[in-house]
Amino acid sequence: MDRKIILLVDDDFDDAEFFKWAMKGTEEAFAIKFVDSGDAALNLLSELDSLPDLILLDAGMPKMNGWELLRIIKQDLKFGNVPVIMMATSNALKGIDEANALGAVAYIVKPSDFSELQSIMKQLCIGVQTDLKSTLESLHSNLPENIYPFG
């Protein structure tokens, strides 16, 4: 079985480690690729033999922020169909609306609780393997303040 690829784009090393720890135990089914900037993400996307099955994208990065990167990804014919989940520390309506308008499949407020993050990541892994849209809707009903799925 081919491993699914999840690309994590986050400039905060501690957040990235937090996400990687939350994915512990999924290594057989998932390959986690990590980059710390928008430029590095674009370089990696152009070099990969197969596209990621999911991109987790931090909104607030320096230089090229997550919004700019999301816009570029969604306008690119090669990467445009890869599902992107925008992540941020805020549940401000402006950010949620912008993620939706730019083509993200969901917006996640980064949880500060590790067990909650671990639960979200395990569910996302299941969703990537089965039905991401249904998984996101289910996560939203359990965590309405953290998960915002889009149509």
What is the number of other CB atoms lying within 10 angstroms of the CB of residue 129?
A: 14
Give the DSSP letter of residue 28: T
Comparing CA positions, the residue from 56, 71, 81 lying closest to residue 102 is: 71
Distance CA 105, CA 86 (A): 8
pLDDT tens for each residue of 128-146: 999 999 999 999 999 899 9
Measured from the Cβ of residue 58, the count of other Cβ atoms closer than 10 Å reads 24
- Position 10 scores a pLDDT of 95
pLDDT tens per residue across span 33-90: 999 999 999 999 999 888 999 999 999 998 899 999 999 999 998 999 999 999 999 9
Q: Where are the domains of the chain?
A: 4-149
Looking at the domain covering 4-149, what would its CATH class be? alpha beta
What does the pLDDT read at residue 20?
87
User: Can you give the pLDDT at residue 37?
Assistant: 95
**pLDDT at residue 127 above 70?**
yes
The whole-angstrom separation of Cα 81 and Cα 121 is: 21
For the entire predicted model, the pTM comes to: 0.94
